[in-house]
Structure 1
Amino acid sequence: MSTVAEHQAAVRALVSSHWRPATEYPPLGAALGRVLADDVRTPIDLPPFDNSQMDGYAVRADAAAGPLRVSGHVAAGDPITAFPGGAVAIMTGAPVPLGADAIVPVEAVGAPGEFAAVDDTVELPAPVEPGSFVRARGSDLAAGAVLLEAGTVLGPAQLGALAASGLTTVPVRARPRVLIVSTGAELAEPGEPLAPGAIYDANAVSLSAAITLAGGIALATGVYSDEPGHLRLALEAAGPVDLVVTSGGVSAGAHEVVRDALEPLGVRFGSVALQPGGPQGLGAITVAGAPTPVLCFPGNPVSSLVSFELFLRPLLRGDRPVLRLPLSASVDSPAAKHQVRRGRLTDAGTVELVGGVSSHLLAAYARSDALVHLPVGLTRAEAGEVVEVWRIDE
């Protein structure tokens, strides 16, 4: 039996030996949610010039307290000019005149929003410190510095920073094409009549959604049969893909279609010290004439999603946010297995478990926003005991 860490390492080695994503250069408007392929450096200083943090007056910090003549007016978007002395009325974001080195807020010398006219005077209440209310050139980042590191997922703030640097395209990893094959004679397409003994196929939809949110391109198909030949035909009919994920048919019983079809092709099957998600398979098979990694997950829907979270998502999207939180109630766990329970964060700063241990409780998973990890060797955790929690709603 493998540990979770050992199986994670095996999956990483398998996938990385076959999938080496190309680099694409989409425009920023099409890059939301993509993953950077390379470090990106800013070509300019951020900000590119000294500018005012406040509406106020630009002055020299060595000016004494007392009256100063208003010698000019600068608005955002105006060119950078030399400081003529005295006090220059300046708006938020406007370039600080060359030679001035501090800003006096307008409300410090008068009513908010009311500026003195050029050639009038303003009363400086006290000397100011150099740099006061000045956003210095390069204070966010200097030209040539790394703006975003490879592996960064591009969200609103990241795209905004790229745009602020003047960049129009960005190097991202090509999205992997993932073929999802749900298997089992007991499955039926959602919406079709449900025969006695049949269940609807939840894994095709849930795994497709998980792959898509992780930045992949999901291609789902169902093999609603326990005949190994049917699965092999479905794989032979598939076009080129970067990865195959199957669900179901991986245990050691009879009618294990995935194991029966793929074990002769060199795919390895075994157990991981994990609950749910113990039965697992991995290897490389030929799809569309090319060796392609295949990950074989259990068929119970919670087992399938937990397997995705632990073994595949980190390779596609990176690690989930990890918290250390106290349990809201006590829980038992099998000593020999890493148990993953579904949970929900509370307003009290704890995590409460949702649903039971069983791997068919998909509705309970749907009401959860976290995975709670109870490691090997832990048989019981009391209320208030701190455990590792993964956020799954981000």
Structure 2
Amino acid sequence: MREKLLPLVIGLLPILMVLGNSMLIPILPNIEADLHLGDRWSGFILSSFTIPAAVVIPFAGVLSDRYGRKRLISISLWIMILGSILCIFNGGVISLFMIGRGLQGVGAAGTMPLAMALIGDLYQGEERSRMLGSLEVFNGIGKVAAPLIGATLAQLVLWDQSFWVFPVISLVILVGLRHTVDSEKSVRKLDVKAFSAVFLSKGRLLIPLYVIGGIGLFLLFGILFYLSYHIENTFHIDGFFKGFSFIFPLGAMTISSYWCGKRLKTDEGLGWTYLKCGLITMSIPLGLLIFFSSLGSLMFFLTISFGGLGLMLPVINTFITGSVSEQERGMIVSLYGAVRFSGVALGPVAFGVWRQDPTQMYIIAFGFTLLNILLFAFLSIRTKGEVRTESLIEH
């Protein structure tokens, strides 16, 4: 029973992080109207969550290396609950609501990145690859479900009551962690020299993988932002049906992540193959959008492109998580989480500027995918013979 419950408990962590912003998008107009905010406040409502999370993620990783993953995840969830309660009982006070959103962001810092580190600690070999793939599946499910949940709640309850979703999920995770993960009694000493040694020895592997993953999430959320804008303003489709249109590209990403994680196992060579195929599959459709940009072409090419991203992410997760020992894993994985989250935060901002000229926007997006391919070529040449399968599965 414990073995069956643990994947679900860990999988709820990335869903909680995704809900933090994506669920709010459909109810932003309600929040603005009730709190008497202008349109410019929409960005602040979202960034008040993303900025604290991006800043705190590396510190959460360091502290989890010292005090244990379970303890830091639990503290993060209680902070998430506190922030959510402030948002629920804001009393129309803007500053109280924004403080609550900031605390939610701080709490979110201990979700997805520490979930990856925890999987690296608890699982080995094939099970580790499968679980990291499943983590991206849960992440994808959260991306698909979040706008639908937000749009549905907007029709059923007042916007502030929708924030009860966060305490409920957080409490479910806390109870699950208590029954599935053993508490760590000892406190590890932080070793700064060890972190430096990791980057000296593994930097040629880790840094390009960080950037490839960050660019992938930057393009994902930036293009989804543009898709939302395009569907609503060009075709006047909003609410539930607009959220439904995201199912196709995000569904493709979720399915390919599950397929990749299930087959990756302990074969490092297969991982490099999947990473290469994912990069090419993501790049070509975005290049074709420069010439074919109707709504049908957009949906078709994005579905293929995000399917390629789904192949990439489980491989990157496995390589980063397995390349370091348990003592440094929290910091290394959390730095990757911070890069990913920065991509999530910056994507909508950049594509909000570029959307004025869609052709130029697609050229820029295609250029980022070519940069990722160049980074992969660098990895293939510079890390050949350095990264052994054993180093990915024995720790």
Which interval holds the TM-score relative to the shorter structure? under 0.3
TM (normalized to structure 1)? 0.21
- Name the structure where helix makes up a greater proportion of residues: 2
TM (normalized to structure 2)? 0.21
**Which structure has the bigger radius of gyration?**
1
